[in-house]
Structure 1
Amino acid sequence: VLPTADSKEEAAAEGEEQEEQAEAVEEPVRSQTVLVEQVPPAVAPPQVEEKREKRPLIFTHSVHAGETLWDIAQAYGITVDTILSANDLRDPNRIRVGQNLRIPSVKGVLHRVSTGESLWEIADRYKISIDEIAEANSIKDPGRIKPNDEIVIPGATRLMPRDVLLVNGQLQRAFDWPVKGRISSPFGPRWGRMHNGLDIAVGTGTSVRAAADGRVTFAGWNGGYGYLVILDHGNGIETRYAHNSRLNVKVGQRVDRGQVICFSGNTGVSTGPHLHFEIRYRNKPVNPQTYLR
């Protein structure tokens, strides 16, 4: 049977409808495929652990016009004494515009470690626990501090270095022996009069060393003392070195602890080669053996 015109039209219409349905089914698939290719899936950002930097132990502050140490101390939440000790300042009123000041991040003083000094010794001197010092300075091993390390002593109000000679008006056992030898005559009454120093028997020409840092205020001949050196250590403290054969310093010169300042001898009123050594506080002689270490 041959198809009629009406049946052909119906078949064509049915075919078109099937094609439209097929396209309608395929279109979402093609669209979804293209979307996946063009926009890759979002990748979660890597989880990075936040690292908090520790607050610096020492800040640097440049002095501005009109600023005082009190202003600066208040701004940083510390004391004026903390700033004075950290910068070796003696007069809180003498700072200048543009001057860089070291500012510890905690209230306390900045202590420089001396040769041979331990954290236990430092803690004992400042009357503070080792743990407090270690925590304030992030010190993991208290036994591994080195000379010239700078550490903050939290809560301290004044600097107490190892070589401090005077604390609260009291002389300290902080003087080095100027020479090593036998004590031939101690401090005290002798031959009906006061012997103001310590006689140490050593051969002529023995190096005599400064008992502490100081400034030379006398270097020359002085009657019964013979050739004499006098050192001023500040705060009314001086040391005297007498009967020398030769001098190695001049008046006004700054000397360091342990520096050779003269050579022993037998000059002046002397019964034999030796060094006569004195410590005086406010011009009053004291027993050197009490303060030599």
Structure 2
Amino acid sequence: MNIYKKLLISAFSVIIMGCSGGKYHKVKKGDTLYSIAVKNKVSVTDIMSLNNLNTPHINTGTKLLIKGEAENQKVRPSYHVIKPGETLYRLSVWYDVSVEELRTYNNLSDNRIYVGQKIYLNSKYSKEKDHHSNSSTKNLYISPTLKSFKWPIKTKEITSKFGTRIHPITGRKTSHEGVDLKSKMNTPVYAPYSGVVTYSGWMRGYGKIVIISHGNGYESRYAHLNRWLVKKGQKVSKGQIIAKTGNTGLSTGPHLHYEIRKNNKPVDPTITM
């Protein structure tokens, strides 16, 4: 009797699924949304929309609706927050959008992305965001201190962005905790905000560096300098020349490495542009 009951229950389940106008898939070990989508000839976005998923990650045993009524279909999410191991290529497969479109929507010059970065998946939303939305700091509260920051050198040309990158010297994947700004040797560096110099000297990797505390947990760093023009303990005012750019430390040429930190956690400096 138990066998017959199981058969009846299975048959009833199939009938119910068929009547509901949907097709289901029970997630097995090793399944991914991509493999399920390919097998069923649908897009990852469709599966996510039908099942109200906010992420492409799924758990074994989950029952997914693969195909349903057209009116239940939804558009792809407006954005995706990058998790470890994810790439633009994976996002393009998951959300049925090309890598080129993702780069265009997010103003990316290459395929490099970093954990925590918000990647826009739709041109509608990419047009609504401001020019800072490429960074993980887009939705962070911008304090009055940060709002008052000025740029440390006259040029705003960034040669290496904030976030994960391949180090130009070591060739290793590392976290770039600031931005590299294009400059000639001995370009004046200005304090973006008033504060107190907490360090002016040599630091491994950074070369000649100046660190300024601005209060409220904020500090700024200026590395690979050629000359220091301030000393530890010295008060500086906004717009004061504090150093000259150079090529010291781990550097491939004259430039300024610029960092902002809040309670010692890196913040994308472009938020102040």
- Structure number, greater radius of gyration: 1
Q: TM range, normalised to the smaller chain?
A: 0.3 to 0.5
TM-score, with normalisation over the residues of structure 2?
0.44
TM-score, with normalisation over the residues of structure 1?
0.41
